[in-house]
Amino acid sequence: MIESCPMTMCPAWRGGSGAARDSGGGGAVAWPGWPRGALPASGPWLHRRTVSRYAQCPFQGWALEVGLVKGASAAADAGWQVHRVIAAGIRAWLDCGADPSGHMAECLPRVRPDVQIDAVDGLRRSIDAIGRFLADLPRDAVIAHRGGRGRRSALLLGHAPTATVASTVDLLYAGASPAEVHEIDFVSGRKVLTASDVRTGLKHRLHAWCLFGAIPDLAAHHVRVWNTRVNALTPVVTFARRDADLAGEAVAAALRSRRDILDALGPAPDDAFPALMERVHTRRRRDFWWPEMTRCAACDACTRCPAATASARDFAADPGAFLAETAAMKAALDKRMRLLRTTVRRTGRDLVFGRTAFGLDKPANPTNPTPGFYRPVETGVGTVGAD
The domains located in the chain, with CATH, are: 2-247 (3.90.320), 337-374 (no CATH)
Q: Is 189 helix (H, G, I), strand (E, B) or coil?
A: coil
Q: Is 360 helix (H, G, I), strand (E, B) or coil?
A: coil
The single-letter DSSP state of residue 365 is P
Confidence (pLDDT) at 212: 94
Contact 87, 168 (CB under 8 A): no
- Name the CA dihedral angle for 131, 136, 139, 142, rounded to a multiple of 10 degrees: -80
Confidence (pLDDT) at 276: 63
Confidence (pLDDT) at 365: 58
The one-digit pLDDT tens for each residue of the chain (387 residues) are: 223 334 433 444 444 333 333 333 333 323 444 443 445 544 688 999 999 999 999 989 998 898 888 877 888 999 999 999 999 999 999 988 899 999 999 999 999 999 999 999 999 999 999 999 999 999 999 999 998 887 888 889 998 888 999 999 999 999 888 899 999 999 999 999 999 999 999 999 999 999 999 888 999 999 999 999 999 999 999 999 999 999 999 999 999 999 988 888 877 665 556 666 666 555 466 778 888 888 888 888 888 887 888 888 888 888 888 889 989 999 999 999 999 999 998 998 899 988 889 888 877 656 667 777 777 765 443 444 443
Q: Is 371 helix (H, G, I), strand (E, B) or coil?
A: coil
pTM, two decimals, is 0.77
Confidence (pLDDT) at 24: 33
Confidence (pLDDT) at 71: 76
Contact 335, 350 (CB under 8 A): no
Angle between helices 74-91 and 127-135 (to 10 degrees): 30
Query: What's the number of CA atoms in the CB half-sphere (13 Å) around residue 376?
Result: 17
Taking the C-alpha atoms of residue 202 and residue 223, their distance in angstroms, rounded to an integer, is: 13
Give kind and range of the element (H or E) at residue 143.
Answer: strand 142-145
Taking the C-alpha atoms of residue 183 and residue 144, their distance in angstroms, rounded to an integer, is: 9
Confidence (pLDDT) at 42: 47
Taking the C-alpha atoms of residue 79 and residue 128, their distance in angstroms, rounded to an integer, is: 18
Beta strands at 180-187 and 220-227: parallel, antiparallel or unpaired: parallel
Confidence (pLDDT) at 274: 61
- What residue type is assigned to position 322 of the chain? F
Give kind and range of the element (H or E) at residue 262.
Answer: helix 241-265
Burial of 259 (0-12, 13-18, 19+ CB in 10 A): middle
Confidence (pLDDT) at 251: 95
